[in-house]
Amino acid sequence: MKSIMVCHCIGICISCSSNIETSQEKRPFQRDWYIHKIVENVQAVLCFLSGFYGHFRNWGSSLEQRGSCYGMPNRTGIGLLEPDAAHAVQMLLPDYVDGNLSALCVWPDQIRHWYKYQWTSPLHFIDTPDEACNFHYKRDCHDPHGLKDMCVAGAIQNFTTQLSHYREGTSDRRHNMTEALLFVSHFMGDIHQPLHVGFTSDEGGNSIGLRWFTHKSNLHHVWDREIILTAAKDYYGKDMDLLRQDIEANFTDGLWREDVTSWTDCSDMFTCVNKWAVESINIACHWGYKDVESGETLNDDYFNSRLPIVMKRIAQGGVRLAMILNRVFGDSEEDEEAAST
């Protein structure tokens, strides 16, 4: 069977500089440079957010393009997928991507402005009240017209439920399943990008213009791509595979190894998406918006203090995407029930 690259579509890119050596000893977050299994079947780890965010490939396939690097799918998610899930993903992807989910991770961004898919635009984010620094599903999960469930948290639930009917299988249904798979993978990246759960008035930081080192950007783009692209350039010689390996190493046998179980600790999808959205708005408040003024220049201090957070969110998105796919495509009734509730 072809290998499945599960890469989450999160969204981050890079640019900037900091005179730091790119030697192995200088790589951030490194503890042991060896990747071991954290659970049975874990071999490679993150594709960069099977989306996710998996999205390594999309975060960095071109360091200058793409919108979100949390779309850096978890290319290493293959090791996190159980056989039934890996087979289902393989069957749903078109042949031309050769089992690489990350190759299509940015599709939801590409089609959101097409007439047919304009309704999906509000599904990429959550607007919360300014300075409230909390998320309440009933209050916040709606589109600009007040239509409920039309936010990234609602979208993940909806498309996960669709995927849970995979085995019922007509050709029309399978076509819809492929779209559902791409949406879930991408939105798992979005919900883990803190500024996708941001303040209403500034559109998640999009209207906070600033400079990232020497070039113009905005706060949302800093978290979508600038931080990761800068890390790739300064620490990894623009080699996104090396960056991905560092992230993998830290949740398989490094800094986050003891945290992985808690990352997937949620009994049903409503509980899960609420937990993830709350995490993101908390990070947005305490790390994203904090001490940032429109028009200012963000540089090493901001980059160095926020990079570990971005890396961890990418890892969490990848692990959690694999959890969802294992649940929806699992062979037990318990898995299916957990995925569809």
Print the domain residue range for 80.
Answer: 7-340
179-235 confidence digits (pLDDT tens): 999 999 999 999 999 999 999 999 999 999 999 999 999 999 999 999 999 999 999
* CA dist., res. 191 & res. 328, Å (int): 19
Residue 236 tokens, joined? 């990894």
Neighbours of 249 (CB within 10 A): 24
Enter the DSSP assignment of 46. Answer: -
Residue 105 tokens, joined? 């991770």
**The total number of structural domains that make up the chain:** 1
- Cα distances (Å, whole numbers) of residue 176 to 77, 132, 173, 190, 266: 23, 37, 5, 21, 27
Give domain status of residue 2, yes or no: no
Give domain status of residue 1, yes or no: no
The helix (run of H) or strand (run of E) holding residue 257 is none
* CA dist., res. 207 & res. 293, Å (int): 11
40-95 confidence digits (pLDDT tens): 222 223 333 333 333 333 333 333 334 466 655 445 455 688 999 999 999 999 99
* CA dist., res. 84 & res. 88, Å (int): 6
CATH number at residue 131: 1.10.575.10
| Contact call for residues 38 and 61 (beta carbons, < 8 A) | no
Give domain status of residue 184, yes or no: yes
* CA dist., res. 19 & res. 116, Å (int): 47
CA angle 103, 190, 30 (to 5 degrees): 80
**Which pLDDT score is estimated for 282?**
99
Give domain status of residue 334, yes or no: yes
- Whether 111 shows a pLDDT value over 90: the answer reads yes
